[in-house]
Structures are given as structure tokens and as C-alpha cells.
Chains A and B, each alone.
Chain A
Amino acid sequence: MSGTLDLPTRKHEAWRYSAVDKLRAGDLGKWRQIDVASGDNARELLVISDENAGETEVVQLRVNIADDARFELFGVIASGEFSRVEVEVTMGRGAHFEMGGITVGGRNTVREFVTRVNHAEPEATSNQTVRSVHWGAGTGNFLGAIDVARHAQKTDAAQDFKGLLLEKGASVNAVPQLEIFADDVKCAHGATVGQLDETARFYMAARGLSPDLARRLLVQAFIGDALVGLDDEEAHEKLLGTALDKLDKHL
């Protein structure tokens, strides 16, 4: 390999729905390594908001979770023309990985979570929840790969994606990719796409909530799923607030 990085195209599986035309060479190859030592707990919060984001934001994390350690990642992608959080996780025996991700956006922005969780050892558990709310011609993606090694028995891995489209023209893509070589494992994945519940909106209006407020409450409830595992109230507020502020600003 030479020192230059080839920019990916949409032919690359992990970049299938990305706005690759927004990428420049400097955006890639900046993997940050996080090591969680055996028995430790660590948490990482990612907020991509108007306050800190440029036109293209790519965050790449490589995480090693040692035996019986726990790593939590909670992130909101609410800014950037093309923003991507890419995470590669390798799990030790009995380790746990908890992830909650939220993408929100309109215009023709593309915002995505791309994860690869490598269950390399037995008895590890992982749980990923992603909620995407988009409008305009905005796109939200969740590409989640789970690899379970041949001897990684008693693996319990779950992926849950829901997309909420507030306007015609917005889209979401979910690509679960499970490669399982062990036989005694639980791997669950689910993906749904929908619109705001009109019955609930009318019920809320009948109680006096304006359409904007009703939508805000319903979106709050929807994305709240991704933050259920986050027990730090201040962080919870911050992530939720970042997503809802974006909604308020652009609708």
C-alpha cells in the first residue's frame, strides 16, 4: 500500500448509501483507538451538531473491549452535509457493547452509522439501537455488521433500527449483515420505516397541542428508544436536545 488512501465508491458495501462525492482524502484514515481493559466500564458520547460540524464529518472508532468489560457508545448525528460514525468493535469473553444512535436531518444531507461488531470470544453481548428521523430529501443509514467467530458460543447480539420519515422525499436505509459461524448464539435484528401516527397527532391536537408541539413530542418519544440505556441524565438531555433542536430549526 502506498501512503495515499483510495476514496471509497458506492460499490463498496460499507459506503453503499454514503454521499461519497462529499469525501476528501483527509476525511479518512483517522481511526481513533479505544481500549477498555478487562472488567472496566467506559462510555463515549458523540454529538455532531451545528456547533462543531463541518461540511463532511467522519468519525472512525476502533474499540477493543477486553474480557468482562463494558463499552457504551451514544451518538447523535444532527449536522454536516455528509456525516458518518463508523465503529469497529472487537469483544472479549463476556464483554458487552451498548450502542444508541440517532440521525436527524433534512435538505439533501446524508447521516449514517456504520458498525462492525466482532464477537471474537464466547459469552459476549451487544445491543445496538438506531433511530433515524428525516425530512426534505434527507437520508439516514444504519449499516450494521455482526461477525460471530466459530468458538464464540453463547453470543447474544441485537440490532434494532427504526426510521421515521416526516416528509415525502426523505429516506432511510438499513443494512443488517450477520455472519455467524458458531451454533449456540442469539442474533436478532429488526428494521422498520414509518411515518408519524396520524391518530396520535389528532388525539394530541384534541387536547390542545399545536401540530409542531405534537410532532416534537412524538419524535422525542421515537428517538428516546436509542437512549434508554443511557443513565446519565445530563448526557441524555444533551443528546435529545441536539436532535430536537435540529428538528425545531428546520421544520
Chain B
Amino acid sequence: MLKIENLSAEIDGKQILNGLTLEVAKGEVHAIMGPNGAGKSTLAYVLGGRPGYEVTGGSVSFDGKDLLDMEPHERAAAGLFLGFQYPVEIPGVSNVQFLREALNSQRKQRGDEPLTGGEFLKLAKEKAGLLKLDMDMLKRNVNVGFSGGEKKRAEMVQMGILDPSFAVLDETDSGLDIDALRVVGEGINAIMRSPDKAALLITHYQRLLEVVKPDRVSILAQGRIVKTGGAELAEQLENEGYDAVMEAA
């Protein structure tokens, strides 16, 4: 479903990704772990198409299409969802308006009819319920005044509403307490666990992976994938640390 080949990228002339190769199949939840500065967030931003992240080599195909050739909003309409490590506050724009415009913009790009206000609210209510987020929060401005945990939960409500086929979740577990972690993890399972979908979970810790069991785990270090294994690799990392596991690799 997602095929990254020999991807290199830089920011401000500084090389961050160095020939990264990774394939994620339909139905798969793939965890990316790695030490600080390994290039995890850069990978997420390059996949999302963030301006300033310059691809200097390699390719990314998504459902057979050249992902790097698409604008960020086209990538979203094609089914890619990027969950932000630091969700952005947008004063003056309510979640409801933002998400309805976003969903309808995606539907328009795909040639589908827009949802009416009523249809949208019904959908939003259902997804907010799934993530135990008060519907009143969705009437407030996007992420403004939300706690760290609320932002991450709102991020997952967005994912539920937009219903992507592929999610790249950048440290969605950071800033969550144990209960919120469970709610968010179960949300990811409910929204993304499907034979037609796949997800790339970028995380520092094993704890999210206890709720969202990964099919495969890859270690990213110095801008490339240095080792891939099953769920047991995450446990090994948690017990032994990156240095030991990477030395063995």
C-alpha cells in the first residue's frame, strides 16, 4: 500500500533521511521506533508534504500513485492522514467548521457529494463518542485551549471523521496519561484496523503498542531503517535499549 524506496530528504540543507526503504502492506500496523533525532518526524512530514522538507532522492508510492508528486491536500484526499505530534491551534475556526470543510473538500476532490450540516454533525457525534471527547469541545476553536491529551484525542476524532485508508501517526501517545492512552489506542484500533487500511505508528515507547499491537516493528536510526521485526522487537527495545539492539543488528 505504501512503498518507500531509498528516500533521502533534507531540511535547510541538512540531510535527515538517508536512503530510507520501507514497505507497509494493506491490513498492517507498522510501528517505527528510534532514538531522538533519527528522522522519525521528518519521515512523517515528508510523507505529508510539509513545505521546507526537500526530497533529494528516492520515491514513495501510495496505492500505486507517486505520493511525492501530489500536493498535501491531494494526499489527504487520496486517503493519507497525518497525525501531528503537536496539533496546531487555529483561533477563530471551530472544529466543526474546519472538519466539515476538510471532509467536503476531500469528497469534492474524489468526486463525491458533500455532506449536509446534519449528516456531518451526526458523524462527528459518533466519532467524538468513540474517543470520549465531549461534543462541546468540537464546537470550540481548533485545538485552542485544549490540554495536550485533549489535542491528541481531538486528532483521533479528526481521523475518525475523515476515515483515511492510511494513517501516519507521529507520537500520538506523547502527552497522554494511562487512561487517555488506552482510549486513543482503542480509537486507532477501531478506525484503522481493517483489511483495506494500514497505519504507520511513530513512537518512542512500547506502551502504545500494548494497546495497538503492531504487525511489524522497524527501527529508524540516522535516517534509515536499520532493523525490522515483529512485535517482539518493540519489547526487546524497551528492555535492552536502542544501543544494544542496534549493535546486534
A residues adjacent to B (C-beta < 8 A): 198-200, 202-211, 213-214, 217-218, 220-222, 224-225
Give Cα A158–Cα B204 distance, bound, in whole angstroms.
48
Q: A205-B72, A207-B162, A208-B73 are in contact. Are A217 and B87 (CB under 8 A)?
A: no
Q: Is B105 a contact partner of A208 (Cβ separation < 8 A)?
A: yes
A-B residue pairs in contact (CB < 8 Å), sample of 8: A206-B49, A206-B72, A207-B162, A208-B77, A210-B109, A217-B97, A217-B101, A222-B92
Chain A contact residues: over half helix, strand or loop, or mixed?
Answer: helix
Of all A-B residue pairs in the complex, the 5 with the closest CB atoms, nearest first, are A221-B92, A208-B76, A205-B72, A208-B106, A203-B88
Query: In this complex, what residue of B is CB-closest to A221?
Result: B92
Give Cα A207–Cα B95 distance, bound, in whole angstroms.
12
Q: A202-B51, A217-B98 are in contact. Are A207 and B76 (CB under 8 A)?
A: yes
Residues 191-245 of B at the A interface (beta carbon under 8 Å):
none
Q: Which residues of B contact A217 (CB under 8 A)?
A: 90, 93, 97-98, 101
Residues 4-40 of B at the A interface (beta carbon under 8 Å):
none
Q: Is B93 a contact partner of A209 (Cβ separation < 8 A)?
A: no
Q: Which residues of A contact B68 (CB under 8 A)?
A: none
Give Cα A206–Cα B81 distance, bound, in whole angstroms.
7
Q: Answer yes or no: B103 CB below 8 A from chain A CBs.
A: yes
Q: Which of B50, B87, B97, B101 has the most CB of A within 10 A?
A: B101
Q: Answer yes or no: B91 CB below 8 A from chain A CBs.
A: yes
Q: A206-B72, A208-B105, A213-B101 are in contact. Are A220 and B162 (CB under 8 A)?
A: no
Q: Is A205 a contact partner of B76 (Cβ separation < 8 A)?
A: yes
- Contact partner of A207 among B50, B98, B109, CB < 8 A? B98
Query: In this complex, what residue of B is CB-closest to A217?
Result: B93
Q: Is A203 a contact partner of B73 (Cβ separation < 8 A)?
A: no
Q: A199-B88, A211-B73, A221-B91 are in contact. Are A204 and B103 (CB under 8 A)?
A: no
Q: Answer yes or no: B84 CB below 8 A from chain A CBs.
A: yes
